[in-house]
A and B are shown apart, each in its own frame.
Chain A
Amino acid sequence: MKSNVVKRLLKYIGKHRRFVLGALLCAVFSNILMIAGPFIIGKGVDNIVGKGRVDFKQILNIVVIIIILYLVSAVFQWSLQVLTSKLANRTVEGLRNDVFTHVTQMPLEYYDRNAHGDIMARLTSDMEYISEGIFQSVTQFVTGIISIVGSLVFMFILNPFITLVVIVMTPITFFIASFITKRSSSLFKEQSRLNGELNGFVEEMVGNQKVVKAFNYEDRAREKFEEINGRLYKAGRWAQFYSSLVNPSTRLVNNITYVLLGLTGGIAAIAGRLSVGYISSFLTYSTYFSQPINNITSVTTQLQTAAASAQRVFAVLDSEPEKPEAQGLVEFTSSEGKVSFDRVDFSYNPETRLIKDFSLNVKPGTRIAIVGPTGAGKTTLVNLLMRFYEVDSGNIYIDDINSREMTKDSLRKSFGMVLQETWLFSGTIRENIAYGKPDATDEEIIAAAKSSNAHSFIKRLPAGYNTMVAEGGGNLSQGQRQLLTIARVMLIIPPMLILDEATSSVDTRTEIKIQNAFNKLMEGRTSFIIAHRLSTIREADLILVLNNGQIVEQGNHEQLLEKGGFYSKLYYSQYENED
């Protein structure tokens, strides 16, 4: 599973091969030059033997070489980092685009089922971890390995015997690091789990402060917060402690190596097998050697996090999207408005069948009202009509064309839809109204706002039509937001109309005005209206009374009242007197 994740990630990285190649080249060059540095400095030191025994000509040469060498190396090092940062950012950019596109191709069920915060996290913070992981693995891991191998080679050239000391000590470092990392990883998991729990709790309590206050829940909330926070403290403290042991431990091993090098080097020098300058170089190499090991051990946690994040991200890509649309589908442009359901079955989950054997023929220009108790399947019918969900069996025809044989976009464009949820995006009021028709003129927008009764309140806003809608639309009341979503539909003048509790947040007086506008708009057009308010639907040509996914009654208002069935019961309950 893990190797699979790495492989898939490599595919994305592979798209930016030139950055990888460039980075690797820069890594090799800059490291070779960096490693050569101490060798040359050591040579310089060897030319400074003692009083009166200094070869200035040689030193000058070496000084010039050192300056050039480090300058060139620095250029490579900088390029390495820039290329890696490009690699990491561009890779993640591509991955993020793919994941987002994939998410937009998911059936609506996916949005209903998954926590939005979780999907958000996968597209943002998980991506950050991956980007950081790529950056670290190239700059630390790859260059680390190059400089480890490089300094080993140089040391070997200097003295193979002493190099053995270093080679023996190295695995100890890795052993210690992996031992501690393994020990602390469960603590880290616990810590991040508790962090999630705490975040979730704060989000709930702060986000719903009104209820918390109304129920005097502050103290109990605080107690619970402190309890979670206390657990977080314990886990966090030990996780931090154990993981912070890695660095001093490896440093200890490095220091021991350093001392052993001095010892063996010193002995070797006494035996005349090594010059003092070489001991100096050797010592520097041992730090060059241990530094990347230190760095690698300190980024392992980051790489683990990155791998875990990549796994979460790829899990999104693995979820089954809606089937891509076949070629040669009809670009539907509705002219009539004839809609029919033919023996439609549908269920959200296999155990409970919601819509059973549903058939309905709607003549062009009919106004259909769908009523029924909560959970009767009213909204589901709309979901099927718009193909937010696909029918399990049966067919839906529009103008005698099977809706499955037309492109979804063209199908959906033939309906204007106003939902109960008043979704606005962060932008100006103007942009929000023009959502379905971005090239609308100001006159069209104002006309739409006027017919939806939104113009008068927009006019009173500080910046009128250019007022920014805050994220989530916090600066507008629920009713005002609904008026904007209605204006949005008024603007596009769709061939057919779906109103799903479209005026539930609007008071009835305003509703009547809007209704009149809708009536004008809908003259001769097919429309579906879902509402709890029976007054809204009294004027419909056809009322469908739904219960448990089936039509239990249909007819117009008078017919249904006369029938004295389910509908009339619903209707009278509205006016029922309590006394």
Chain B
Amino acid sequence: MFRLVKYLKPYIKQVTLGPAFKLLEAILELLIPLLMAKLIDNGVKANNSSYIYMMGGLMLLTAVIGAGSAFICQYYASIASQGFGTTMRNLLFKKIQSFSFNEIDKIGTPSLINRITSDVNQLQFAVAMLIRLVIRVPFLCIGGVVMAMIINVKLSLVLLIVMPLFAAFLYIVMSRSIPMYKSVQKKLDTLSTVIRENLSGARVVRAFARLDKERERFIKSNKEYADNSVRVGRISALLNPATTVIINLGVAAILWFGGYQVYEGSMSQGEIIAYINYVNMILSALIVLANLVITFTKAAASAARVNELLDLEPSISDPTEEQLKSIDQLTDLSGESNSTEKAEEPVIEFKNVSFSYDGSAENVLQDISFRIYKGQVTGIIGSTGAGKTTLISLIARFYDTTGGAVCINGTDVKKLKQNELRNKIGMVPQKSVLFSGTMEENLKWGKHDAAPDDMVKAAKVAQAYEFIEKKPEGFSTQIVQGGRNLSGGQKQRLAIARALIKKPEILILDDSSSALDYATDASLRRELKENLTDTTVIIVTQRVAAIRNAELIVVMDEGEIVGMGRNEELLESCAVYREIVNSQDESGVAPDEK
């Protein structure tokens, strides 16, 4: 937790002055009972009413200055805590942006989101509490004890016995309730999972007539959560009553032993009253302290989660200057040996690439080598789980290869800046993701200063123009989060337009016309063919028809390339390809009838 303190540095003024003013308030607050004791002893007992008024006035002044200091402290606290929270959020967001998929997969999106929101909120709250209470509460405690000691040292022995008693009790309650609190959170996670699954699986649950079972499952999980909450409530409810008892045991002791002191004449009645007041003050401070400890325990847990993110180094980062040089030397060497082929350099080249996901022993890709030249249309085809999507993820360097290299225009992608690399590539992912905003804003993801003409052109090629135009608001139509107000096919076409508007050197379509009917798909392919003569296109698909005319077809099976070439060549040489073709085209009549 303390490592995060450095982010409070810009707020050094607020963080020091805030508690200082709070301290001032606390001091003034401590003065009031003391003044009251004077008022009683010197005023009431001496029948001196003007002294009473004077003391009264003094106390009022003290109270007003105290409140003023409190206001100032709150002002500083709000700046520092909210500022700290804002800094942390910016920092975490930036960090998360730098992560590659390895890190994101490892931690999981929901957890990342929780950390940037609720965990930072916990920390923010803790900072506010820190400024407000961290000096004030111990000060009130210690101050109360000191003031009590000034009044009478012997009597303070009572406090010195009572305080450790309280501390021990606090420790027992905390050590038992914190693990229980964690289990409550876990039960809440389970409950949320049941809810989420029932929302997303509404159709399936109904189709299998499992509503009653799901309700049972929910009620059980709900009950477990409530049971756990009640259980932790039972323990934490001990805190306040027990603190009251412990302190009032002290008060009883003070009455008894104080009585002796007064009897002997070493203490006055007013002092006893002041003493009891201080003890009550300590009591309320201790109750706040107990709550403060809970706040900081939670904050410590959040800080650990935040720190974990900050410590995580992105596994993919831009090359440093030194690395650039060393890689230069390497490629220079290899360049010399291949200089004869320099005439026509492939746009994309895979050199003996193998890949396995983090923590997995099995290779998802094995010894992949191929070359794609400028303007070529390449199809990648293969069965489910053959590694097609993984393969294209390596081109944009979403993951780093575990062996071999991926080169773009002859340069290893590891040597390129990620920004430059991805600027060259237009990617249409398998799942068409759109963002909340207008259609125009979504298209401008590809090119933030795209002209209206560019948009219309891209939309036309992507077969999206027709339905956009039909919308009453055209390109200004709002897309709700996740694009729920569009059909799957419409989303796909917008995603394609978004990639086209970029005018990329390399266009990658990852099974991105699966939601289109054949007629639309065919027009799309025709338009792509006509409009993107210079663009290198990679089409990942399961439809043979989509790539039949590709200049290069790569056939994949279980992470390996089992065939490469044109349609006719593969029909002859590649069994797997033949099988795929046959599975889609058993009769073989269609092309002939054309």
Contacts and interface: CB of A to CB of B under 8 A. Distances in A.
A260 B83 CA distance: 40
B435 to A, nearest CB: 5
A100 B197 CA distance: 12
B218 interface: yes
Interface string A478-512: 11100101001000100000000000111111111
14 contacts: A48-B262, A81-B233, A97-B218, A104-B214, A211-B427, A214-B427, A216-B423, A258-B32, A375-B487, A409-B211, A412-B206, A492-B208, A535-B586, A573-B519
Contacts of B249: 67, 70
A62 interface: yes
B245 A71 contact: yes
A572 interface: yes
A393 interface: no
Interface string A452-488: 0000010000000000000100100111100101001
Contacts of B423: 216
A374 B517 contact: yes
Interface centre among A54, A199, A270, A574 (most CB of B within 10 A): A574
Interface in B72-130: 74-75, 77-79, 81-83, 85-86, 89-90, 93-94, 96-99, 101, 104-105, 108-109, 112-113, 116-117, 128
Interface stretch (A156-164, A275-283, A336-344): A275-283
B150 interface: no
Interface centre among A85, A211, A492 (most CB of B within 10 A): A211
A154 interface: no
B230 A280 contact: no
Nearest to B217: A425
Interface in A60-83: 60, 62-63, 66-67, 70-71, 73-75, 77-78, 81-82
B347 interface: no
Interface in A172-222: 195, 198-200, 202-218, 220-222
Nearest to A482: B384
A62 B255 contact: yes
Interface centre among A67, A222, A284, A575 (most CB of B within 10 A): A575
A63 to B, nearest CB: 4
Interface stretch (A116-124, A308-316, A442-450): A116-124
A505 B202 contact: no
B152 to A, nearest CB: 13
A270 B75 contact: no
B315 interface: no
B268 interface: yes
Contact of A104 (B49, B60, B215): B215
Nearest to B124: A236
Interface string B276-292: 11001000100000000
A479 B230 contact: no
B214 A578 contact: no
Size bin of chain B's contact surface: 35 or more
A44 B248 CA distance: 13
B553 interface: no
A348 interface: no
A457 B386 CA distance: 12
Nearest to A571: B590
A47 B262 CA distance: 10
A266 interface: yes
Interface residues of A, number: 169
A5 interface: no
A222 B96 CA distance: 10
B91 to A, nearest CB: 11
Nearest to A383: B203
B529 interface: yes
B208 A218 contact: no
B204 A423 contact: yes
B270 interface: yes
A222 B203 contact: no
Contacts of B433: 208, 210-211
B206 A388 contact: yes
Contacts of B445: 211, 215, 217
A262 interface: yes
Contact of A284 (B211, B280, B522): B280
A329 B196 CA distance: 31
Given A85-B237, A507-B382, A373 B545 contact: no
Interface centre among B98, B223, B263 (most CB of A within 10 A): B263
Interface string B531-575: 000000000001111001100000000000000000000000000
A45 B255 contact: yes
A229 B40 contact: no
Interface in B482-538: 484, 487-490, 498, 502, 514-522, 525-526, 529
Contacts of B132: 244
A120 B45 CA distance: 66
B375 interface: no
B297 interface: no
Interface string A505-548: 11111111000000000000000000011110010000000000
B255 A104 contact: no
Contacts of A205: 97
Nearest to B235: A82
B583 A214 contact: no
Interface in B378-398: 382-386, 396, 398
Contacts of A44: 255
A226 B87 CA distance: 9
Interface string B405-449: 000000000000011001101010110010110000000011010
Given A104-B214, A206-B109, A263-B56, A276 B93 contact: no
A62 B40 CA distance: 23
B9 interface: no
B258 interface: yes
Nearest to B515: A374
A248 B74 contact: yes
A50 interface: yes
B71 interface: yes
Q: Which 5 A-B residue pairings sit nearest by Cβ, starting from the closest?
A: A479-B384, A85-B233, A51-B265, A248-B70, A81-B237
A93 B97 contact: no
Interface stretch (A145-153, A351-359, A414-422): A414-422
B62 to A, nearest CB: 8
Contacts of A169: none
A426 B194 CA distance: 9
A478 B44 CA distance: 85
Nearest to A248: B70
B526 to A, nearest CB: 6
B311 to A, nearest CB: 18
Contacts of B207: 386, 412, 415, 417, 419
Contacts of B223: 93
B280 A259 contact: no
A538 to B, nearest CB: 8
A477 B109 CA distance: 17
A267 interface: yes
B194 to A, nearest CB: 9
A389 to B, nearest CB: 11
Contacts of B259: 47-48, 54, 56, 59
Interface stretch (A6-14, A249-257, A299-307, A396-404): A249-257
A426 B74 contact: no
Contact of A425 (B197, B422, B543): B197
B398 A575 contact: no
B61 to A, nearest CB: 10
A41 interface: yes
A100 B70 CA distance: 46
Interface string B119-156: 00000000010001000000000000000000000000
Contact of B251 (A41, A225, A269, A485): A41
Contact of B45 (A276, A409, A488): A276
B158 to A, nearest CB: 12
Given A48-B255, A435-B210, A508-B580, 18 more contacts: A62-B255, A78-B237, A82-B230, A116-B199, A209-B109, A214-B427, A215-B422, A221-B97, A222-B94, A229-B86, A233-B83, A240-B81, A244-B74, A258-B36, A412-B207, A436-B210, A512-B583, A532-B514
